[in-house]
Amino acid sequence: MDDKVKRALDRRMAGAALPVASKARMIQTAIRGKGSRRVRKRKMVITAAAVAAVMVSGCFAVQVIHDNIRQTMTSWEQTHEGTPLNLSQSDAGYTVTLDEIYGDARYVYLNGTLSRNDGQMWKVDPMTDRLGTQYTAAGFCERRFQIPNQETLVSYGSKLDFLSDTNPEDSTLEFIVRLDAAEFALTGDATAVLDGIWYEANGELFTLDGHWEITFPVDRKNDGETLEINQTITLENGTVTLERLYFSALDVSADWSGENEALFGEAWKNTYLLLKSGEQIPYQSRGIVNGDGTEIRMEFEQFNKGLGHISADDVQAVVFAGQEIPIA
């Protein structure tokens, strides 16, 4: 379990304002615990609590907690329907259920639960990221998705979050998986392969064995909305064009093209989606679409910053490096 624990710790510290060397030392200290499995787990517990304390003091001193995932999921579900799955598999005393799938041509979302078969409470700690989004401190140590007729397993494009635990006295935790839909047809099958569980309770990190392999239909409604923009702005280091905006169930993304120096400059701090309500959804990440780096896909803050499902009618403008591109 050493490698799985290391990856779990690494993910847990991903948002911490710590130097890379400090994170590495903490992980190495945790992995050095040898001996029996129970003793090794207890040594992990002590180190994980220390890591969590550093994260809280370093990143989250003053913040507002947001249940962004649930707020945006609820908003989308008020006007859309997913495809029920209701597929379960049990192992090592725990049951994983894939409840529902929804999405479009850009993102696939899987909603599921993790339950204790003994009916006992999880008592898992809440946690927040650097933006104040609330989660439950749990995850799968390994996850991957097998797609027929694809040469590789899809794991790099997946993101799994355990939602805030609104009923901590029950035996169930809820999670949402977002997958890049580039590898998925709108119909067919895929298989989720999940190994091991990690979670924190009372500041202590625990790891559990288990293997779940569930094949599910990827059939879903293409509820995504594309808005073609094709507007160009000029910056000091070149020109860029906002090609289009794409509105998925829980996220908004943008496609840009232009000169490499402008697309990958340092002006991203003043880039965001401006809504008609006056709310701003900040830029979060970007990735290269083509080989020469002159086309990128940009994502705004995940789960629409908890503002609910966003459609084209909700947007006033996109601001790139301080320059506003109005949306008609």
DSSP annotation string for 153-199: -B-TTEEEEEPP-S-TTSSEEEEEEEEEGGG--SSSEEEEEEEEEEE
Query: Are 72 and 24 part of one and the same domain?
Result: no
Query: Are 231 and 269 part of one and the same domain?
Result: yes
Query: Are 81 and 116 part of one and the same domain?
Result: yes
Predicted pLDDT at 267: 63
> How far does Cα 153 stand from its chain's mean position?
18
Q: Taking the model in full, what pTM does it have?
A: 0.77
Helices (H) and strands (E) in the chain, counts: 5, 18
Query: Are 76 and 206 part of one and the same domain?
Result: yes
Domain C-terminal end among 217, 233, 263: 217
Residue 77 to residue 99: CA distance in whole angstroms:
14
User: Could you tell me the mean pLDDT of each successive run of 10 residues in the chain, 328 residues long?
Assistant: 46 41 37 32 35 36 64 92 95 98 91 96 89 89 83 64 90 94 80 95 95 93 92 94 97 95 81 97 90 92 94 97 92
Query: Are 74 and 177 part of one and the same domain?
Result: yes
What is the 8-class DSSP label of residue 125?
A: P
- Spell 239-267 as b/e; 16+ CB within 10 A means b: ebbbbebbbbbbbbbbbbbbbeebbeeee
Structural domain count of the chain: 3
Q: In which residue are the tokens 């702005």 written?
A: 233
Residue 146 to residue 215: CA distance in whole angstroms:
9
**161's torsion region: left (phi>0), alpha (psi -120 to 50) or beta?**
beta
Tell me how far apart the 2 most distant CA atoms of the chain are, in Å.
Answer: 65
Domain C-terminal end among 217, 245, 275: 217
CATH of the domain at 87: 2.60.40.1640
What residue type is assigned to position 213 of the chain? Answer: E
Positive or negative CA dihedral for 26, 27, 32, 37? positive
Q: Which domain, by its residues, includes 127?
A: 68-217
Predicted pLDDT at 142: 93
Residue 140 to residue 131: CA distance in whole angstroms:
23
Predicted pLDDT at 31: 35
Which residues are bridge partners to 246 per DSSP?
226, 253
Predicted pLDDT at 150: 63
Residue 318 to residue 255: CA distance in whole angstroms:
12
Query: Are 213 and 235 part of one and the same domain?
Result: no
Query: Are 170 and 204 part of one and the same domain?
Result: yes
Domain C-terminal end among 12, 34, 59: 59
Query: Are 135 and 100 part of one and the same domain?
Result: yes
Query: Are 97 and 198 part of one and the same domain?
Result: yes
> How far does Cα 289 stand from its chain's mean position?
20
Count the alpha carbons within 13 Å of 291 in the hemisphere toward its beta carbon: 0
Query: Are 280 and 321 part of one and the same domain?
Result: yes
Cβ neighbour number for residue 298 with a 10 Å cutoff: 22
Q: In which residue are the tokens 């995504």 written?
A: 224
Query: Are 119 and 184 part of one and the same domain?
Result: yes
Predicted pLDDT at 169: 86
Predicted pLDDT at 188: 85
Query: Are 153 and 83 part of one and the same domain?
Result: yes
Cβ neighbour number for residue 287 with a 10 Å cutoff: 11
Predicted pLDDT at 154: 56
